[in-house]
Amino acid sequence: MVNEEAERVRALVDAAAGPIVVLDDERRVVASNVGLLPGRRVGDVADDALVLFVGALPVLSAYEELRAGFTAAVSHELRTPLARLLVLLESTTLPGADVEDLVEQARQEIQLARELIDDVLFLGELETGREVVSLGRTVALPILQEVGRANEERALHAEVSLDVGGDPTIELPLRPRMLRVVAENLVQNAIRYSGPGSTCSVSLGEEDGSLVLAVRDDGVGVRERELPRLFERFYRADHARTSRGTGLGLAIVKHVVNAAGGTVDAFSSPGNGLQIVCRFPA
Protein backbone atom coordinates (compact mmCIF):
# COMPACT_ATOMS: atom_id res chain seq x y z
CA MET A 1 0.00 0.00 0.00
CA VAL A 2 2.86 2.40 0.83
CA ASN A 3 4.36 1.90 -2.62
CA GLU A 4 0.98 2.47 -4.27
CA GLU A 5 0.45 5.73 -2.36
CA ALA A 6 3.95 6.91 -3.27
CA GLU A 7 3.23 6.19 -6.95
CA ARG A 8 -0.05 8.13 -6.77
CA VAL A 9 1.70 11.09 -5.13
CA ARG A 10 4.42 11.13 -7.79
CA ALA A 11 1.80 10.97 -10.54
CA LEU A 12 -0.15 13.86 -9.03
CA VAL A 13 2.98 15.96 -8.60
CA ASP A 14 4.21 15.24 -12.14
CA ALA A 15 0.83 16.28 -13.52
CA ALA A 16 0.64 19.51 -11.50
CA ALA A 17 0.64 22.74 -13.45
CA GLY A 18 2.87 24.58 -10.98
CA PRO A 19 5.95 23.79 -8.88
CA ILE A 20 5.27 21.45 -5.95
CA VAL A 21 7.39 19.79 -3.27
CA VAL A 22 5.55 17.24 -1.09
CA LEU A 23 6.76 16.56 2.46
CA ASP A 24 5.53 13.87 4.83
CA ASP A 25 4.82 14.34 8.54
CA GLU A 26 8.54 13.96 9.32
CA ARG A 27 9.51 16.68 6.81
CA ARG A 28 10.95 14.07 4.47
CA VAL A 29 10.73 14.92 0.77
CA VAL A 30 8.20 12.55 -0.81
CA ALA A 31 8.09 13.97 -4.33
CA SER A 32 9.00 17.07 -6.29
CA ASN A 33 8.50 18.38 -9.80
CA VAL A 34 11.23 21.03 -9.45
CA GLY A 35 14.97 20.73 -8.97
CA LEU A 36 15.96 20.77 -5.27
CA LEU A 37 18.96 22.55 -3.83
CA PRO A 38 22.40 21.07 -4.65
CA GLY A 39 23.05 17.90 -2.66
CA ARG A 40 19.36 17.38 -1.79
CA ARG A 41 17.21 14.63 -3.23
CA VAL A 42 13.85 12.96 -2.78
CA GLY A 43 13.86 10.94 0.45
CA ASP A 44 16.00 13.42 2.42
CA VAL A 45 14.72 15.13 5.54
CA ALA A 46 14.30 18.83 4.77
CA ASP A 47 16.98 20.89 6.57
CA ASP A 48 16.61 24.61 7.26
CA ALA A 49 17.94 25.63 3.84
CA LEU A 50 15.57 23.28 2.06
CA VAL A 51 12.67 24.42 4.22
CA LEU A 52 13.35 28.02 3.18
CA PHE A 53 13.46 26.90 -0.46
CA VAL A 54 10.23 24.96 -0.10
CA GLY A 55 8.57 27.81 1.78
CA ALA A 56 8.04 29.69 -1.45
CA LEU A 57 6.21 26.73 -3.01
CA PRO A 58 2.78 25.16 -2.43
CA VAL A 59 3.43 22.32 0.06
CA LEU A 60 0.97 19.51 0.77
CA SER A 61 1.43 16.32 2.72
CA ALA A 62 1.09 13.12 0.74
CA TYR A 63 -2.09 12.32 2.66
CA GLU A 64 -3.67 15.69 1.93
CA GLU A 65 -2.81 15.43 -1.76
CA LEU A 66 -4.34 11.97 -2.06
CA ARG A 67 -7.38 12.90 -0.04
CA ALA A 68 -8.04 15.94 -2.22
CA GLY A 69 -7.81 13.85 -5.39
CA PHE A 70 -10.04 11.11 -4.01
CA THR A 71 -12.65 13.60 -2.76
CA ALA A 72 -12.78 15.25 -6.17
CA ALA A 73 -13.22 11.87 -7.87
CA VAL A 74 -16.02 10.82 -5.50
CA SER A 75 -17.80 14.15 -6.02
CA HIS A 76 -17.60 13.72 -9.78
CA GLU A 77 -18.92 10.16 -9.68
CA LEU A 78 -21.84 11.11 -7.43
CA ARG A 79 -22.92 13.96 -9.70
CA THR A 80 -23.77 11.55 -12.53
CA PRO A 81 -26.55 9.51 -10.86
CA LEU A 82 -27.85 12.62 -9.08
CA ALA A 83 -28.06 14.55 -12.35
CA ARG A 84 -29.90 11.67 -14.02
CA LEU A 85 -32.22 11.40 -11.02
CA LEU A 86 -33.11 15.09 -11.30
CA VAL A 87 -33.91 14.74 -15.02
CA LEU A 88 -36.11 11.71 -14.36
CA LEU A 89 -38.06 13.43 -11.59
CA GLU A 90 -38.60 16.54 -13.72
CA SER A 91 -39.79 14.31 -16.59
CA THR A 92 -42.67 12.98 -14.46
CA THR A 93 -44.41 16.37 -14.82
CA LEU A 94 -44.41 16.28 -18.63
CA PRO A 95 -47.68 15.53 -20.48
CA GLY A 96 -48.05 11.85 -21.29
CA ALA A 97 -45.12 10.82 -19.11
CA ASP A 98 -44.92 7.17 -18.08
CA VAL A 99 -44.61 7.97 -14.39
CA GLU A 100 -44.29 4.36 -13.27
CA ASP A 101 -41.35 3.72 -15.60
CA LEU A 102 -39.64 7.01 -14.68
CA VAL A 103 -39.99 6.26 -10.97
CA GLU A 104 -38.42 2.83 -11.52
CA GLN A 105 -35.50 4.42 -13.36
CA ALA A 106 -35.14 6.93 -10.51
CA ARG A 107 -35.08 4.07 -8.02
CA GLN A 108 -32.20 2.50 -9.96
CA GLU A 109 -30.26 5.77 -9.87
CA ILE A 110 -30.73 5.99 -6.11
CA GLN A 111 -29.53 2.40 -5.76
CA LEU A 112 -26.43 3.20 -7.80
CA ALA A 113 -25.63 6.23 -5.63
CA ARG A 114 -26.10 4.12 -2.50
CA GLU A 115 -23.77 1.41 -3.86
CA LEU A 116 -21.16 4.03 -4.65
CA ILE A 117 -21.33 5.48 -1.14
CA ASP A 118 -21.14 2.00 0.39
CA ASP A 119 -18.08 1.15 -1.72
CA VAL A 120 -16.33 4.40 -0.83
CA LEU A 121 -16.93 3.84 2.89
CA PHE A 122 -15.84 0.21 2.68
CA LEU A 123 -12.63 1.11 0.82
CA GLY A 124 -11.95 3.78 3.43
CA GLU A 125 -12.31 1.19 6.19
CA LEU A 126 -9.92 -1.13 4.41
CA GLU A 127 -7.29 1.56 3.98
CA THR A 128 -7.46 2.70 7.60
CA GLY A 129 -7.13 -0.88 8.85
CA ARG A 130 -10.58 -1.01 10.42
CA GLU A 131 -11.53 -4.11 8.42
CA VAL A 132 -9.52 -7.23 9.21
CA VAL A 133 -8.83 -8.89 5.86
CA SER A 134 -6.86 -11.98 6.78
CA LEU A 135 -8.05 -13.83 9.86
CA GLY A 136 -7.38 -17.56 9.58
CA ARG A 137 -8.20 -19.50 6.43
CA THR A 138 -11.53 -20.26 4.76
CA VAL A 139 -12.60 -23.23 2.66
CA ALA A 140 -13.31 -21.27 -0.46
CA LEU A 141 -15.49 -23.28 -2.87
CA PRO A 142 -18.76 -23.20 -0.84
CA ILE A 143 -18.58 -19.40 -0.66
CA LEU A 144 -17.79 -19.13 -4.38
CA GLN A 145 -20.78 -21.34 -5.15
CA GLU A 146 -22.96 -19.21 -2.88
CA VAL A 147 -21.85 -16.07 -4.74
CA GLY A 148 -22.63 -17.81 -8.03
CA ARG A 149 -26.16 -18.68 -6.93
CA ALA A 150 -26.73 -15.14 -5.63
CA ASN A 151 -25.80 -13.70 -9.04
CA GLU A 152 -27.73 -16.15 -11.24
CA GLU A 153 -30.61 -13.73 -11.85
CA ARG A 154 -28.22 -10.87 -12.66
CA ALA A 155 -26.34 -13.11 -15.10
CA LEU A 156 -29.57 -14.30 -16.71
CA HIS A 157 -30.71 -10.71 -17.24
CA ALA A 158 -27.34 -9.85 -18.84
CA GLU A 159 -27.46 -13.03 -21.00
CA VAL A 160 -24.24 -14.29 -19.44
CA SER A 161 -23.67 -17.94 -18.51
CA LEU A 162 -22.13 -18.45 -15.07
CA ASP A 163 -20.00 -21.44 -14.06
CA VAL A 164 -18.31 -22.05 -10.70
CA GLY A 165 -15.92 -24.92 -9.94
CA GLY A 166 -12.65 -25.88 -8.36
CA ASP A 167 -10.83 -27.86 -5.70
CA PRO A 168 -13.18 -28.27 -2.69
CA THR A 169 -10.27 -28.69 -0.28
CA ILE A 170 -8.52 -25.37 -0.93
CA GLU A 171 -8.48 -22.84 1.88
CA LEU A 172 -7.68 -19.20 1.11
CA PRO A 173 -6.10 -16.80 3.66
CA LEU A 174 -9.21 -14.65 3.89
CA ARG A 175 -12.00 -14.55 6.38
CA PRO A 176 -15.38 -15.49 4.84
CA ARG A 177 -16.71 -11.93 4.47
CA MET A 178 -13.58 -10.73 2.66
CA LEU A 179 -13.61 -13.76 0.34
CA ARG A 180 -17.25 -13.03 -0.47
CA VAL A 181 -16.40 -9.38 -1.23
CA VAL A 182 -13.65 -10.44 -3.65
CA ALA A 183 -15.78 -13.06 -5.39
CA GLU A 184 -18.85 -10.83 -5.71
CA ASN A 185 -16.89 -7.95 -7.21
CA LEU A 186 -15.11 -10.19 -9.72
CA VAL A 187 -18.27 -12.02 -10.77
CA GLN A 188 -20.36 -8.87 -11.05
CA ASN A 189 -17.60 -7.15 -13.03
CA ALA A 190 -17.62 -10.02 -15.55
CA ILE A 191 -21.41 -10.07 -15.78
CA ARG A 192 -21.58 -6.30 -16.25
CA TYR A 193 -18.90 -5.93 -18.92
CA SER A 194 -18.40 -9.20 -20.81
CA GLY A 195 -21.45 -8.76 -23.02
CA PRO A 196 -24.51 -10.85 -24.03
CA GLY A 197 -23.81 -14.45 -25.02
CA SER A 198 -20.56 -14.69 -23.05
CA THR A 199 -19.59 -17.13 -20.31
CA CYS A 200 -18.12 -16.24 -16.92
CA SER A 201 -16.10 -19.02 -15.25
CA VAL A 202 -14.97 -18.95 -11.63
CA SER A 203 -12.19 -21.41 -10.85
CA LEU A 204 -10.19 -22.37 -7.77
CA GLY A 205 -6.98 -24.38 -7.89
CA GLU A 206 -3.25 -24.58 -7.22
CA GLU A 207 -0.58 -23.51 -9.69
CA ASP A 208 3.21 -23.18 -9.34
CA GLY A 209 3.01 -23.37 -5.56
CA SER A 210 0.29 -20.72 -5.27
CA LEU A 211 -3.43 -20.92 -4.57
CA VAL A 212 -5.28 -19.37 -7.50
CA LEU A 213 -8.75 -17.84 -7.64
CA ALA A 214 -9.54 -16.82 -11.22
CA VAL A 215 -12.58 -15.31 -12.89
CA ARG A 216 -12.53 -15.53 -16.69
CA ASP A 217 -14.97 -14.51 -19.37
CA ASP A 218 -14.94 -14.87 -23.15
CA GLY A 219 -16.55 -11.50 -23.82
CA VAL A 220 -15.42 -8.29 -25.49
CA GLY A 221 -12.11 -8.06 -23.65
CA VAL A 222 -9.95 -5.01 -22.85
CA ARG A 223 -7.19 -3.25 -24.77
CA GLU A 224 -3.69 -4.07 -23.53
CA ARG A 225 -2.93 -0.42 -22.76
CA GLU A 226 -5.93 -0.30 -20.42
CA LEU A 227 -5.03 -3.37 -18.35
CA PRO A 228 -2.67 -1.64 -15.88
CA ARG A 229 -5.40 0.85 -14.99
CA LEU A 230 -8.27 -1.58 -14.35
CA PHE A 231 -7.58 -1.62 -10.61
CA GLU A 232 -7.55 2.17 -10.26
CA ARG A 233 -10.43 3.79 -8.41
CA PHE A 234 -13.22 4.91 -10.75
CA TYR A 235 -11.35 3.86 -13.88
CA ARG A 236 -13.45 2.29 -16.65
CA ALA A 237 -12.24 0.90 -19.94
CA ASP A 238 -13.57 2.60 -23.06
CA HIS A 239 -16.34 0.08 -23.70
CA ALA A 240 -17.48 0.27 -20.05
CA ARG A 241 -17.83 4.03 -19.67
CA THR A 242 -21.61 3.91 -20.05
CA SER A 243 -21.99 1.14 -17.47
CA ARG A 244 -23.83 1.45 -14.19
CA GLY A 245 -20.96 0.19 -12.03
CA THR A 246 -19.37 2.26 -9.24
CA GLY A 247 -15.85 1.94 -10.67
CA LEU A 248 -14.51 0.73 -7.30
CA GLY A 249 -15.03 -3.04 -7.47
CA LEU A 250 -11.61 -4.03 -8.81
CA ALA A 251 -9.87 -1.47 -6.60
CA ILE A 252 -11.47 -3.16 -3.59
CA VAL A 253 -10.44 -6.59 -4.90
CA LYS A 254 -6.82 -5.51 -5.26
CA HIS A 255 -6.70 -3.99 -1.81
CA VAL A 256 -8.17 -7.07 -0.12
CA VAL A 257 -5.96 -9.55 -2.01
CA ASN A 258 -2.79 -7.53 -1.41
CA ALA A 259 -3.61 -7.14 2.29
CA ALA A 260 -3.89 -10.95 2.53
CA GLY A 261 -0.39 -11.36 1.06
CA GLY A 262 -1.57 -12.14 -2.46
CA THR A 263 -1.34 -10.58 -5.89
CA VAL A 264 -3.94 -9.83 -8.55
CA ASP A 265 -3.39 -9.45 -12.29
CA ALA A 266 -5.54 -8.85 -15.36
CA PHE A 267 -5.04 -10.47 -18.76
CA SER A 268 -7.00 -9.69 -21.91
CA SER A 269 -7.10 -8.73 -25.56
CA PRO A 270 -10.02 -7.31 -27.57
CA GLY A 271 -12.52 -10.01 -28.45
CA ASN A 272 -10.85 -12.63 -26.24
CA GLY A 273 -12.40 -11.83 -22.90
CA LEU A 274 -10.87 -10.78 -19.58
CA GLN A 275 -9.14 -12.87 -16.91
CA ILE A 276 -8.63 -11.63 -13.35
CA VAL A 277 -6.23 -13.93 -11.51
CA CYS A 278 -5.72 -13.73 -7.73
CA ARG A 279 -2.74 -15.65 -6.32
CA PHE A 280 -2.24 -16.41 -2.63
CA PRO A 281 0.64 -18.15 -0.84
CA ALA A 282 -0.10 -21.84 -0.35
Q: Which of 103, 127, 151 is the last residue of a domain?
A: 127
Q: Is the same domain home to 199 and 67?
A: no
8 Å CB contact between 226 and 241: no
Q: Is the same domain home to 120 and 171?
A: no
Digits of tens for pLDDT over the chain (282 positions)?
445 555 655 655 555 545 566 666 666 766 665 555 455 566 666 555 555 444 545 544 544 544 555 555 556 556 767 777 888 888 988 898 898 988 888 887 787 777 667 666 666 666 666 556 666 788 999 999 999 999 999 999 999 999 999 999 999 998 888 898 899 999 999 998 888 999 999 999 999 899 999 999 998 888 888 887 888 866 655 444 445 555 677 888 888 888 888 999 999 877 788 999 999 998
Residue 166 lies in a domain: yes
* Nearest Cα to Cα of residue 206 among 138, 278, 134, 274: 278
**39: containing domain:** 2-60
- Residue 264, classed as helix, strand or coil, is strand
Note whether 92 and 102 are within 8 A (CB). yes
Task: Kindly state whether residue 199 falls inside one of the protein's structural domains.
Answer: yes
Q: How many domains does the chain have?
A: 3
Residue 133 lies in a domain: no
* 79 and 104 housed in the same domain: yes
82 and 18 housed in the same domain: no
Task: Report the SS3 class of residue 31.
Answer: strand
Does residue 31 form part of some domain? yes
